[in-house]
């Protein structure tokens, strides 16, 4: 399904996929992108279906978790650092293997149900862009697929 053309300073419309960019500020960071995804959903004019969020990067990821307490994303990053140390006799010559491993563990996409034009997130849930090799300019792709 193709969406009607829309103009937005932050979103570029490409067929049915909306893309927005974020500039991360640290090497490791979790950025709440719920508002960006929500605004892409609004632009789609789809009331019921699924919203697919995809991160087209190999050293970043997307996840859903709590943002009411900022210590939750901090703790997630701390645990990932303990599990996947920066140095570990990795073979990848670029020197960012830890970021690649973290990205694969967390994953490149999330799917959120859409009900009556709203993301069906739980009260405490936010969508986080996970930066593991920043700071960089990153892209987030959002596709909203209508219910049949």
Binding positions for Zn ion, rule: CB under 5 A: 94, 96
Residue among 24 and 96 whose Cβ is closer to Zn ion: 96
Task: Write down the least CB distance from residue 60 to Zn ion, Å.
Answer: 12
In order, the DSSP letters of 78-108 are: HHHHHHS-S-S----TTS-HHHHHHHHHH-S
Query: Shortest Cβ distance from residue 59 to Zn ion (Å)?
Result: 6
Report in angstroms how near the CB of residue 104 gets to Zn ion at its nearest.
12
**Between 96 and 143, whose beta carbon lies closer to Zn ion?**
96
Rounded least distance, CB 77 to Zn ion, Å: 19
Contact assessment for residue 60 and residue 128, using Cβ atoms and an 8 Å cutoff: no
Q: For residues 35 and 94, which CB has a smaller minimum distance to Zn ion in the complex?
A: 94
**What whole-number distance in Å separates Cα of residue 146 and Cα of residue 143?**
10
Cβ distance to Zn ion smaller for residue 71 or 94: 94
Instruction: Name the closest residue to Zn ion (Cβ).
Output: 94
CB 58 within 8 A of CB 103: yes
Beta-strand relationship, 49-54 and 137-146? antiparallel
């Amino acid at each position: 399904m193709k969406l009607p053309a829309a103009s937005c300073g932050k979103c570029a419309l490409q067929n049915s996929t909306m893309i927005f960019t974020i500039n991360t500020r640290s090497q490791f960071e979790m950025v709440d992108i719920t508002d960006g995804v929500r605004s892409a959903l609004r632009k789609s004019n789809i009331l019921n279906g699924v919203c697919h969020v995809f991160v087209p990067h190999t050293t970043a990821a997307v996840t859903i978790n709590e943002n009411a307490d900022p210590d939750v994303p901090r703790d997630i990053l701390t645990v990932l650092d303990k599990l996947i140390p920066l140095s570990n006799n990795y073979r990848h010559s670029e020197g960012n293997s830890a970021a690649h491993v973290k990205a694969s563990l967390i994953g490149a996409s999330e799917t959120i149900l859409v009900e009556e034009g709203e993301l069906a997130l739980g009260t405490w849930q936010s969508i986080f862009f996970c930066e593991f090799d920043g700071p960089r300019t990153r892209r987030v792709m959002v596709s909203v697929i209508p219910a049949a």
